Structure 1
C-alpha cells in the first residue's frame, strides 16, 4: 500500500513536469535561442543592443543573460508580460547599485533603445561624464510618446545642451527628473502640455530665461523643483492653476518681482521655497487660508516691508519660517506666537527693531530661533526654561541695544553675544 502511494505520487509529478515542458515549447521562442524565455526575439535583441551602447561593445548579453526577464535577470532591467511575452518596462543605467553596469566613455543612445515598445521608465544616473558622449537632442523620443511614464537623468556632468522639445510629446509622462546635469538654454514651453505630469524636477542645471506660463497649467503636478539654475523674470501668474501641487522649490535662481497673490489659492501646498532670488515687494500674498503650508522659505531676497501686515492666521500650520536677510523693518509681531507648530524661526540679518515679546516663548515646538543681526532693543524676558531648551539655537547677537537680566539665568544658559542690562552691570 505504501509503495503504491509513492508510485502514484511520482506519476503525478512526472505528468506535471511534462505539462510544464509542453507549455514552454508552445510559448517559448520559436528558434529556441533562449530556451524557456517568453520574450519576443526582436525585443530581446533591441535590449541587448541598447545596453551594449551604454556600457560598451565588450558586453555580450546573449551569452551572459540568455533569459533577461527570467532566470538570468539583468541588473537595472524590469519586465512585464504583454500578450503572453516578456517586454522591457523599466531600464536604469549607471551607478545606481553596487553591481550596476558602469557606463562607457563613448556611450551611445542607439536606435534599438527606442524599439522597446512597452518601456515605461528610463533613467541614467552618474553615467554621462564626457561632453563628447551622445547627446539627447537627436534621439527619437517621439517613439516613446504612448508608453513612457518616467524619464530621469541624474548627476550626468557631460549632459549638456537644451532640453529636447520632443520631451513635450511624451503625453503619458508622470515624472520628468533632470537633476545635476549641465543642461542649458530656455525651458521648453511645451512641457506645459504634459497634463498628467506629477513631478517636474529640473534643478542643478544651467537653465536661463523665464519660467513658461504654460507650467501653471499642470493641474495634476505634485512636485515642482526648478532650483539651482539661472532662471529670471517674474513668477508666472498662472501658478494659481497648480491646484494639486504639494511642493514648489524655485530657490537659487535670479527670479524677481512680487510673489503672486494667487499662490494662496494652492490649498495643498506644503513647501514654498523662493530663497536666494531677487524677489521684492512686501509680504502680502496670503490673502486667504493656506491650511497645508508647513515650510515658507524666502531668505536672501530684497523683500523689505514689515511683519505686521502679514496674515499669520492663514498659515497656522507653519513648521519652518525663514525670512532671514530679506530687508524687513518694524517689530517682531506678537501674533507669530499663534504658530503653535513652528519649529524653526529665522528672522536674522534684517532691520527689525523694538522688543521681543515674551509670548514667543509659548511656541512649545520651537527648537531654533534666530534674530541676530537686527536693531532689536530692550531686555529679554524669556523664562529660564526657554534658554535651557534652545541653547545656542537661540541667536540674538549683533543687536547692540538688546540686553538680558541675569538674576534668574545661570551663566551656562545665558544667550550668546547679548550683554547684561545696564543696571546689572553696576
Structure 2
C-alpha cells in the first residue's frame, strides 16, 4: 500500500524544520513515504506506524505536523540536539506505545500532557536536562513496562505513585538529585526485573531505608515468579547497615549486582548463595581483610557462575591464592588499587576461563612464575607492584597490558621472549618503563594484528630493521627514551595506519624523511625530538592534515620552517 499524501506531507514538513547537515534524509523526496529511510508503514494500510530518527544529531524544531501521523505507535527521536522543551502536542499522539527521547538535549519539565499517552509501554527520557519533580502524569501510564528517567536533574522525593505502575519490568532512576527515602510503595512492583538507583548525588539516603520497604517487597513478591534480575545501587553512600533491606531484593534470579562507589566494609555471606549471579561490582568501597576471606563468602553456588568480579579500590590484603580456582566461570577479575602484599599463586596462570586480570597497584612480591607463558589470559596488568624477575621464554597467547611503573616491577634482559607469543592473538604490547636491553627481534614485526607497541623508557638499542614492513596494521609506535640509532628504515612508510609515532630521545640520525609526509597521512602525533637528525624540515610534513602535535626540537636541523 502507498503512504497517504497527508502523511508524506507531514514528514516533509517535519524535515523542513530541522537541520540535517549530513543529509541523512535525502531519500525523503518522492510521494511514497513508505520507501523513505527510517520510515516504517503498515503493510496492509500504508499508514506510517514507526518513525526511527534516532542517532542522527538533528537540530531545530520538532514540527506539530507529526500529529498528522495518526497511526504512529513508535517514535524514536533519541541522540539528537533539539535543545528545547518537549512540545506539549506530544500528548495528542495517543496511539504511541513506544517513545524514546533520550540523549537529545531536551530541557525544562516533562509536559503534563503526557498523561494522555495511556498506551505507552516503553518511555525513555534518559540523559537529557529535565528538571523539577517527576510529574504525577507519569503515574497514569499504568501500561509501562520500561521506564528510564536516569541522567537528568530531577529533584524531590521518588514519588510513591511509581508503585502503582505494576507492569514495570525495568525502572531506572539513577543519576538524579532525589532526596528522602525510598517509598515503601515500590514494593508493589512485583514484575520488576531491573532496578537502577545509582548515582543519586548523595540525595537519597539509601542507608536509612526502613524495614517496611523490604517487608512489603517480600510480601508482594512472594506470590510472583518474577524477581529482579539486575540491581544497581552504586554511588549512594551506602554502608553495611543496608544489607538488612538488600537481602529481600536478592534471589536466584539476580544476575547483576552493582554496589560500587559506596562505603561498604564487607560482603554478607548470603551473596554467595545467589546461584545466577554473573556480575558483581564492589569497587571503590572500604572493604578490609584478606582477599581469600572475601572469596570464601562467595564460595557458595555464586562461585560456579560468576563471570565478572570487580573489587578494585578497596583495602584487601594477602595473596592472590589458588582459591581463585574455585571460580571456574570467571572471565574478568579486577583487584587493582588494594593492599595485596603476598604472592601470586602459580595456579592462577593455569585457569581456563579468564580473559582479563588486573592486579596493578598493590604490594605483591616474589618472582613471576614462568607458568605465565602457558596462561590463557588475554590481558594482564601487573604494574605498580614489587614483583621481580625476568619473563623468560613466555609462551602466553597474550602478554599485554603489562605496564610496570619505572619504580616497581623492573624487568630486565632482552625481549626475545615475545617471539613465543602466538602471533594471531597479540594486538597490544606495552613493555615500557623497564630495563630491557638489546635489539628488537625481527619476530616482533611479524605479529599480524599488532596495533599498539610501547617500548618506551628502556635501554633497547640497535637499528630499526627493514622487517618493520610487516607491521602494516600498526597504529601506535612509542619508542621514546631508548638508545636506537641509524636512519629510519624506508619500510616504515608502509605502516600507513600509524596515528601516533614517537621516536624521541634516541640516537636516530639522517635527514627527516620526506615519505613521512607523503605516506603517513593519518598521523596525529609525530615526535622526533632529542635525536641526531640534520638538514631541512621537509615541506611534505605540511601534507599531514590530521597532525595535531609535532615535535622536532633538540636536533641539528637548519634552514627555514616550511610555511
Q: TM-score, normalised by structure 1?
A: 0.69
Closer/same/farther in 2, CA of residues 334 and 241 from structure 1, 3 Å limit: closer
Q: Deviations over 1:36-76 (max 9, x none)?
A: x99xxxxxxxxxxxxxxxxx996663xx1352322798545
Kindly indicate whether the alpha-carbon contact (under 8 Å) linking 2:325 and 2:348 is maintained by their aligned counterparts in 1.
yes
Change (3 A) 1:74 1:353: closer
Between the aligned partners of 2:529 and 2:454, the Cα distance in structure 1 is 16
Matched, 1:91 2:195: yes
Secondary structure of the residue that 2:412 maps to in structure 1? coil
Pick the aligned partner of 1:219 from 301, 318, 328: 328
Match of residue 529 from structure 2: 416
How far apart are 1:175 and its partner, in Å?
1.4
Q: 1:128 to 1:320 in 2, by over 3 A?
A: same
Separation in 2, partners of 1:66, 1:314: 55
* Structure 2 contact 370–391 (Cα < 8 Å) conserved: no
Secondary structure of residue in 2 paired with 1:195? helix
1:275 deviates by 2.5
Indicate if the aligned counterparts of 2:423 and 2:446 stay in contact, CA closer than 8 A: no
TM-score under structure 2 normalisation?
0.53
Distance in 2 separating the partners of 1:183 and 1:109: 24
Aligned length: 352
3-state SS of 1:216 partner: helix
Change (3 A) 1:220 1:345: same
Q: Distance in 2 between matches of 1:71 and 1:362?
A: 56
Q: Which residue is 1:404 aligned to? A: 509
Give the counterpart of 1:302 among 402, 407, 410.
410
Partner of 1:121: 230
Q: Does 1:150 pair with 2:256?
A: yes
Contact 1:192 1:216 in 2 (8 A): no
Counterparts of 1:185 and 1:214, CA distance in 2:
15
2:482 to 357, 369, 374: 374
Structure 2: how far apart are the matches of 1:72 and 1:165? 28
Is the CA contact (8 Å cut-off) linking 1:93 and 1:103 kept in structure 2? no
| SS of residue matched to 1:314 | coil
When structure 1 is superposed on structure 2, of 167-176 and 336-345 the one drifting more is 167-176
CA deviation profile, 1:4-61 (whole Å, cap 9, x unmatched)? xxxxxxxxxxxxxxxxxxxxxxxxxxxxxxx9x99xxxxxxxxxxxxxxxxx996663
Q: In structure 2, how many angstroms separate the alpha carbons of the residues matched to 1:331 and 1:72?
A: 60
Partner deviation per Cα, 1:144-189 (whole Å, 9 max, x = no partner): 4644332211222xx1423334433334322111123333332213
SS in 1 for 2:232: strand
Aligned-residue offset at 1:313: 4.5
Q: CA deviation at 1:102?
A: 4.5
Residue of structure 2 equivalent to 1:209: 318
Tell me, in whole angstroms, the C-alpha distance in 2 between the residues paired with 1:394 and 1:388.
11
Confirm or deny: 8 A CA contact 1:160 1:184 kept in the other structure: no
Asked if the contact 1:294/1:317 (under 8 Å) is kept, the reply is: no
Provide, for residues 214-259 of structure 1, a one-character-per-residue CA deviation record: whole Å limited to 9, x for no partner.
1233111121122232223222222245312222222222223333
How far apart, in 2, do the equivalents of 1:408 and 1:74 lie? 59
Q: Provide the residue aligned with 1:395 in structure 2.
A: 502
1-side partners of 2:322 and 2:489: how far apart?
49
Residue 165 (structure 2) aligned to one of 51, 65, 68: 68
Q: 1:101 to 1:350 in 2, by over 3 A?
A: closer
Q: For 1:103 and 1:334, locate their aligned partners in 2 and report how far apart those are by CA, in whole Å.
A: 59
Deviation string, structure 1 residues 184-228 (Cα, Å, up to 9, x no partner): 332213134411111111123333322242123311112112223
Q: Mapping of 1:212-361 within 5 angstroms?
A: 212-267=321-376, 269-284=377-392, 286-287=394-395, 290=397, 293=398, 295-300=400-405, 301-361=409-469
Aligned to 2:204: 103
Deviations 1:313-359 (A, max 9, x none): 42442111000012212221111011121111111111222222232
**2:305 pairs with 184, 196, 199, which one?**
196
Structure showing greater relative contact order (alpha-carbon pairs closer than 8 Å, 6 or more residues apart): 1
Residues 140 and 389 (structure 1), Cα distance of their counterparts in 2 relative to 1, 3 Å cut: closer
- After TM superposition, give the deviation of residue 414 of structure 1 in Å: 7.9
- For the aligned residues, what is the CA RMSD? 4.1
Equivalent-residue separation in structure 1 for 2:346 and 2:373 (angstroms) = 12
Runs of 5+ consecutive residues of structure 1 not aligned to the other structure: 1-34, 39-55, 78-84
1:286-335, CA deviations, whole angstroms, 9 ceiling, x for partnerless residues?
336x2xx4844333222222212443342442111000012212221111
Aligned in 2, Cα 1:68/1:387: closer, same or farther, shift over 3 Å?
closer
CA distance in 1, matches of 2:418, 2:459: 17
Partner of 2:522: none
Contact 2:394 2:417 survives alignment (8 Å): no
What displacement does 1:363 show? 0.6
Aligned to 1:6: none
Q: CA deviation at 1:126?
A: 2.1
The reply to whether residue 364 of structure 1 matches residue 465 of structure 2 is no
Structure 1 CA distance for aligned equivalents of residues 440 and 285 of structure 2 = 41
Aligned partners of 1:73 and 1:374: how far apart in 2?
55
Name the CA distance, whole Å, in 2 between partners of 1:66 and 1:139.
Answer: 17
Q: Distance in 1 between matches of 2:354 and 2:325?
A: 10
